[in-house]
Structure 1
Amino acid sequence: MSTTEKKDVDKKDIDSVEKYVEPEAIHDEHRASSNPGYHLDVHDLDHVQRRLKQRHVQMIAIAGTIGTGLFLGSGHALQGAGPLGALIAYALVGTVAYSSLCSVGEMTTHAPISGTFPHYAARWVDPALGFAVGWNYFYTNAISTPVEVTAAVILITFWDENTSHAAIYTAVICVLMVSINIFGVKWFGESEFVFSLIKIALILGLLIAGLVIDLGGGPQGERIGFRYWKNPGAVAGAGLVKNIHTDRFLGILSVLVQAAFSFQAMELVAIAASETESPRRNIAKAVKRVFWRIFIFYILGILMIGMLVSSADEALLADTGTAAQSPFVIAMNRAGVKVLPHIINAGVFTSAFSAGNSYLYCSSRILYGLALRGQAPKIFTRCTKNGLPLLAVLFTACFSLLSFMNVSSGAETVFNWFSMNLTYVFFYRGMKHQGFDLRKNVYNNRLQPYVAYWGIFWTIFFIIVNGYAVFFDFNASDFLTSYINIPIFLGLYGGYKILKRSKFWRVDEMDFVTGIPTLEETEIPEVPPKNIWERIAGILF
């Protein structure tokens, strides 16, 4: 096809990626020029639509990971490692999460297309790795959806203890989650925008209230300060060995992967790139702001609960699933503040609903991306005329019926971070070899590839120590729970590699051009603020 013919086809049949066209029709006609030696071109099938606005993406980035892991799970971290130990664990895991987002953010701003990091792994490392990463991420998020549904139902029991109503609440929540995703990405963006506002207001309110109480401004007027860092101590032991220093070190190890669960879904902004307006500019902004989000919400949050609640407080051992087990609620109850538990429970409920909503979105888009690349049934590539991968959403929604499961995704989250950083290292080597100037990318971290190396080292470490406690009192059940994801991942990788005989791409074979839209195709000119309120909105969103 000549260049003139191609331009005519683009003008008539393809409005960027906005218009729905059958995969067979778009395959040959929307193909960027590239080296004929490249092997990947099936990603041209992408035909979702860019309906997420800047405010949607920025709010998702700011508050996307604030959920039950921070509001409820942080209590277990405090009990397991003590205030300083929990702070160290969350700070370390935060740097690894940030390194992973920097890596995937840079790749995404270069190629804002469907499939995100599993596709990048297949395109720049090995198709078998992309297959394993994609299906690992899909089932992790698909199963996490019913877990969050169950969590939301349990949170409702804080007000309604009638267990016979649980099935009704489950059905209502499932229908609402699925409906939001079926209505389209615009409605998903609006819902997450509202949920993010609620979560941000809640965590900021708790930080301020906690500081007031710690300084003696609570009803009892008692100044707390850092007394719990002195007694029972800054670092709690795991109770596994007699040597106190070793036991305290093991205590910190015990909460590392648990902390990773709190940072799950940080990559949501990258997954939404193919459906985001001006994705390169907006994702670059989002990634740059993540560091401050981690510091303000997570580090200050963990520091605050460590100041307000003793790591030996018996209430931390409760596993109600409601606000009653939140260290923030425990702190308010100890200070004599009675109204906040209900407010916190309502906020945590919206967080659980938002998390389930996000997991459903993420897993459906990963499934869609896998199908585009021939690594999942082709039927999941079909979209509505509005660009919604409906069949992928409906199939993923079926997992929400498993709303009585109870699993944690901390270990799987670490696997995903490992793949993001590993893929970036290959991406970096290939770009350098082919003469691309990484500094010209819309987002570029000058500390790369060392940021990715940091992420690779610690994710391998997290995977190894995930279930270390089982070796002090071995039983098969706990061992499988801790390490089952390793053989699953290797099985997916090895099975695909054997059947498809895939290979690692050489640096001169990596495709950085084909099917990737240009800046002119994706970016809308930024409108300068007209008044002070628009300037403030630009800073916040």
Structure 2
Amino acid sequence: MVKETENHTQLQRTMKSRHLFMLSLGGMIGTGLFLGSGYAIGEAGPLGAILAYLVGGLLMYLSMVCLGELSVVMPVSGSFQAHAARFIGPATGFVLGWVYWLSWAMYIGLEFVAAGLLMKRWFPDVPTWIWCAIFIAVLFTINSLTTRAFAETEYWFAGIKVLAVILFIIIGAGAIFGVIKMESQATPYMSNFIGDGLFPAGITGVFISMMTVIFAFQGSEIMGVAAGETENPEKNIPKAIRNIVIRVLLFFVFSIFVLSALVPWKEAGVLESPFVTVFDMVGIPYAADIMNFVILTAILSVGNTGMFACTRVLFSLSESGMAPAAFKKLNKRRVPIYALLVTLAFALLSLLTSVIAADTVFVVLLAVSGIGGTLTWMAIAFAQYRFRRQYMREGGKLEDLQYRVRLFPFVPFLCIGMCLFIFGFMFFDSAQRTSLLWGLGFVAACYLYYYVMFTRRKAAVPVLPTTQENQL
């Protein structure tokens, strides 16, 4: 039974900078890198894939610094949803919160199935649904405990992935330059980069690859979701942003460089996991089993992070009067338990639609999930622009902001422009046009629902909870 008392009505500020850093990594380093990197190389070629990851990293950086300024001034749980409601408008906050929640809740269910399927390698006779049930119970238990317990678990989940990527880069670099001899081929050096020209698939291949790459970077904004439960947000949030941007770019770009140098680009796109292929090349025993374990950890990490993000976004929506009041009720460990239960129930429901409504409801859910992250980044940049304009108009001083975006307003405008380019490319790409139209249609329906249901009563807007409240 959930008990809400005077002592248990606020989330706990127990996350440290290292937790924020690993939490953002947990949302990004997953199957998109371990499995999807081969697709990016196969579409764009070696140098084209690296260029696509650099551009994707730039967009991630732009959105992160915008989020950092807002989160330091207004460190609330579900931050960008509350920021959008406050600085863009309640309708946008409502739509952004529900679209973001839906996109993550959808993927949580898919992660459970993927984890169960991976266990088939070691336990072929055990039904997949049993493993799904076990993983659901484990992740639910972790998320229903204290925020600190969740943060520590995710820290070690993400740590395994980071260690695997670092070892891969070191071993792969040794193989590229002949320090480590490969069993199946001669030392490649840089031959894969120059053999078929700089852009063997053309510039179009780079754009197609870029869509996959940018979606792989989405998840970094989860750092903002945790802002309301972070110790000393004015200190830890900027520190986490600096760490995440630099290190993620290094992890992703170096990994793609190693893969491109060792695996011919025409073969990379058809490999189930190019990481396994590289480990096999250098003769590492049980390479497939090692990567199976790492990918399993990555999947559970993403599911764990997704459950946390969904729960806090529902909490934020409830705080601002845009979701049922029950979602802001906390258990004795100060976890929004009803929001967690509803998130888990929807994740399981999305699995059901993949079986009984795969061509209708499931397609729409996938489409919304595909554009949810890009919409979030665009809204973060626009909210930062609106905040800064309001702050300066009301006499605020830049030196009083403990973390601020440099090159304003160029940074938020560039972020918004790049997001619009993504949507524009999706529209002109026949393979992605349908998903874009379904996703934008759902967004329009959310706006319509808001104006129909909330025009008769003014939706509450989150209150600035920091010491800078008197400046706005």
Q: Relative to 1, partners in 2 of residues 1:92 and 1:410: Cα closer, same or farther, differing over 3 Å? A: farther
Counterpart of 2:140 (choices 148, 168, 178) is 178
Amino acid at match of 1:81: A
Question: Is this contact kept in 1: 2:9–2:329, CA < 8 A?
Answer: no
Counterpart of 1:279 (choices 227, 233, 243) is 233
Q: TM-score, normalised by structure 1?
A: 0.78
Question: Is this contact kept in 1: 2:26–2:298, CA < 8 A?
Answer: no
Question: Is this contact kept in 1: 2:62–2:412, CA < 8 A?
Answer: yes
| SS of alignment partner, residue 92 of structure 1 | helix
Q: In the aligned structure 2, how far is the partner of 1:159 from the partner of 1:447?
A: 53
Counterpart of 1:257 (choices 201, 211, 216) is 211
Q: In the aligned structure 2, how far is the partner of 1:233 from the partner of 1:311?
A: 12
Which shows bigger deviation, 185-194 or 337-346? 337-346
Question: Is this contact kept in 1: 2:259–2:274, CA < 8 A?
Answer: yes
Q: In the aligned structure 2, how far is the partner of 1:363 from the partner of 1:85?
A: 34
Q: In the aligned structure 2, how far is the partner of 1:202 from the partner of 1:186?
A: 25
Q: Relative to 1, partners in 2 of residues 1:519 and 1:185: Cα closer, same or farther, differing over 3 Å? A: farther
- Matched with 2:56 is 93
Which shows bigger deviation, 101-110 or 285-294? 285-294
Q: Relative to 1, partners in 2 of residues 1:517 and 1:385: Cα closer, same or farther, differing over 3 Å? A: farther
Q: Quick check: 1:451 aligned with 2:411? A: yes
Show CA shifts across 1:234-257 (max 9, x none).
4343xxxxxxxxxx2221111222
Amino acid at match of 2:190: F
- Matched with 2:85 is 122
- Matched with 1:140 is 103
CA shift at 1:336, angstroms? 4.1
Q: Quick check: 1:317 aligned with 2:270? A: yes
Q: Quick check: 1:156 aligned with 2:115? A: no
Show CA shifts across 1:38-68 (max 9, x none).
xxxxxxx972111223432233245542111
Question: Is this contact kept in 2: 1:52–1:186, CA < 8 A?
Answer: yes
Amino acid at match of 1:71: F
Show CA shifts across 1:94-140 (max 9, x none).
11111111111110000111231111111111111101111110101
Counterpart of 2:442 (choices 474, 483, 488) is 488
Q: Percent sequence identity over matched residues?
A: 29
Greater C-alpha radius of gyration? 1
The 5 A counterparts of 1:297-376 are 297-313=251-267, 316-318=269-271, 325-376=272-323
Amino acid at match of 2:411: V
Show CA shifts across 1:273-329 (max 9, x none).
11112122111110122221132111111122111111111x6325xxxxxx22121
Q: Quick check: 1:442 aligned with 2:389? A: no
The answer for unaligned runs of 5 or more in structure 1 is 1-18, 27-44, 238-247, 319-324, 472-477, 503-510, 521-541
- Matched with 1:413 is 373
CA shift at 1:200, angstroms? 1.2
The RMSD of aligned alpha carbons is 2.6
| SS of alignment partner, residue 11 of structure 2 | coil
Q: Quick check: 1:194 aligned with 2:194? A: no
Q: Quick check: 1:380 aligned with 2:327? A: yes
Q: In the aligned structure 2, how far is the partner of 1:147 from the partner of 1:218?
A: 39
CA shift at 1:231, angstroms? 3.0
Question: Is this contact kept in 2: 1:118–1:131, CA < 8 A?
Answer: yes
Q: TM-score, normalised by structure 2?
A: 0.88
Q: In the aligned structure 2, how far is the partner of 1:341 from the partner of 1:281?
A: 41
Which shows bigger deviation, 175-184 or 493-502? 493-502
Q: In the aligned structure 1, how far is the partner of 2:173 from the partner of 2:113?
A: 32
Amino acid at match of 1:177: L
Q: In the aligned structure 2, how far is the partner of 1:456 from the partner of 1:270?
A: 18
- Matched with 2:357 is none
Show CA shifts across 1:121-178 (max 9, x none).
111111111011111101011111112222222322333444x521111111111111
Aligned length: 449
- Matched with 1:243 is none
Question: Is this contact kept in 2: 1:82–1:233, CA < 8 A?
Answer: no
Q: In the aligned structure 1, how far is the partner of 2:242 from the partner of 2:407?
A: 13
Amino acid at match of 1:212: G
Amino acid at match of 2:446: L
Amino acid at match of 2:91: A
Amino acid at match of 2:158: S
Q: In the aligned structure 2, how far is the partner of 1:366 from the partner of 1:387?
A: 15
CA shift at 1:340, angstroms? 2.5
Question: Is this contact kept in 1: 2:68–2:241, CA < 8 A?
Answer: yes
Question: Is this contact kept in 2: 1:284–1:443, CA < 8 A?
Answer: yes
Q: Quick check: 1:393 aligned with 2:345? A: no
Q: In the aligned structure 2, how far is the partner of 1:268 from the partner of 1:433?
A: 30
Amino acid at match of 1:493: Y
Show CA shifts across 1:3-59 (max 9, x none).
xxxxxxxxxxxxxxxx9646xxx9xxxxxxxxxxxxxxxxxx972111223432233
Counterpart of 1:518 (choices 431, 456, 467) is 467
Q: In the aligned structure 1, how far is the partner of 2:452 from the partner of 2:47?
A: 47
Q: Relative to 1, partners in 2 of residues 1:411 and 1:256: Cα closer, same or farther, differing over 3 Å? A: farther
Question: Is this contact kept in 1: 2:21–2:244, CA < 8 A?
Answer: no
Amino acid at match of 2:465: I
Question: Is this contact kept in 2: 1:260–1:413, CA < 8 A?
Answer: no
Amino acid at match of 2:219: A
Which shows bigger deviation, 199-208 or 83-92? 83-92
The 5 A counterparts of 1:209-220 are 209-216=171-178, 217-220=180-183
Q: In the aligned structure 2, how far is the partner of 1:362 from the partner of 1:348?
A: 21
| SS of alignment partner, residue 307 of structure 1 | helix
CA shift at 1:210, angstroms? 0.6
The answer for unaligned runs of 5 or more in structure 2 is 355-361
Amino acid at match of 1:139: L
Question: Is this contact kept in 2: 1:260–1:410, CA < 8 A?
Answer: no
Q: Which has the higher helix share?
A: 2
- Matched with 1:3 is none
Amino acid at match of 2:216: S
Q: In the aligned structure 2, how far is the partner of 1:231 from the partner of 1:459?
A: 33
Amino acid at match of 1:306: S
